[in-house]
Amino acid sequence: MREFETGATRDKNESKLNYAGFLSPAVLRAYAPYMQRHRVQNDGKLREADNWKKGMPLSVWRESLARHFMTAWLLWDGESVEPDMVAGKEEIPTELDALMGILFNAMGLAHALLK
């Protein structure tokens, strides 16, 4: 047990999950604007933020994850990359964009596997 100067007591912390320690708020702060930009579909319509939770075949998640990984890898090697359609216009993805895409697809794939 932990006992504080005030007399309050709590269980020991060692076996409790530390979400704040495991996640980076700076990454999550960058992730949300990335996701917001990608909510705009090629037809100009805005999809719901949690639309991805409705589910897709695992192959779709894996193929997209592989494409984002390839973009990151090409950028690491100083190669040119193909533009992405983002919010109705073409954008050359940055390394951070590629990593956010990897994060999104890893989360979507993990979400599907957990279901």
Q: How do residues 40-84 score in pLDDT, each as one tens digit?
A: 988 889 999 999 999 999 999 999 999 999 999 999 999 999 998
Nearest to 104 by CA among 4, 27, 15, 40: 27
**In the predicted model, what is the mean pLDDT of residues 90-99?**
95
Tokens of 78: 């100083």
Give the pLDDT score at 86: 84
H-run or E-run covering 76: helix 58-76
Give the pLDDT score at 85: 80
Tokens of 33: 């604007």
Which residues lie below 8 Å from residue 69, measured CB to CB, with a gap of 6+?
98, 102
Tokens of 30: 């960058």
99 pLDDT higher than 90? yes
For residue 61, the one-letter residue type is W
